[in-house]
Amino acid sequence: MADAEPIKAIVTPVRLEYDFTAGKAATLFLRGLARKKIIGARSGPGQPVLVPPRGADPRTSELAAEAVEVKDTGTVVTYSIIRVPSENIKFELPYACVNVLLDGAAIGFFHVLQNCPLEDVRIGMRVRAKWVADDKLTTSVSSIEYFEPTGEPDVPYEKLRENT
């Protein structure tokens, strides 16, 4: 034992195990995903649609109780290249995480991008959600497998300025 390699590092995990109660707003959103729909909410007509819904409009604290379905297509407003493995993410490294401004939504929606060379990932790129097979749909964000390019022309940066 004494001639074995010295110990140079120890693993010290931090772990929290708990039950998550989604609340009304997130429940609405998660139930939508199980029906292949992305549902946001707003505080009233003309008000920004928040996706995922958070129960209240963060600018005004007004109740955002009106459910609004948004499209499963959108525009990349920012992205990050991931090179560090994560236990629960099955995508091959490196891959891109994208913040997608879904059509009809006022804020970005975070997911993984696939089927696009990393050097082609860019702000303004049009993308679409790739859903899992219908029999795999659940009340979870994993009902969307990833986003992928649609091939449509880019959205000019000027139109995204507020969201980048």
65 and 29 Cβ atoms separated by less than 8 Å: no
Shortest Cβ 20–another protein spacing (Å): 4
Shortest Cβ 134–another protein spacing (Å): 20
49 and 75 Cβ atoms separated by less than 8 Å: no
Shortest Cβ 5–another protein spacing (Å): 9
Q: Evaluate the CA torsion angle 41, 55, 28, 109 in order and state its sign.
A: positive
Distance, in Å, from the CA atom of 39 to the CA atom of 24, rounded to the nearest integer, reads: 12
Distance, in Å, from the CA atom of 122 to the CA atom of 129, rounded to the nearest integer, reads: 17
Give 9 or 133: the residue with its C-beta nearer to another protein: 9
Give 66 or 103: the residue with its C-beta nearer to another protein: 66
Give 115 or 138: the residue with its C-beta nearer to another protein: 138
Shortest Cβ 135–another protein spacing (Å): 20
Residue by residue, DSSP assigns 35-82 as: TT-EEEEESSTTSPPBSS--SB-TTT--B--EEEEE-SEEEEEEEEEE
Shortest Cβ 144–another protein spacing (Å): 17
Distance, in Å, from the CA atom of 29 to the CA atom of 50, rounded to the nearest integer, reads: 11
Give 30 or 132: the residue with its C-beta nearer to another protein: 30
Give the binding site for another protein (CB under 8 A).
1-2, 4, 6-28, 30-31, 65, 67, 87, 139
Give 56 or 155: the residue with its C-beta nearer to another protein: 56
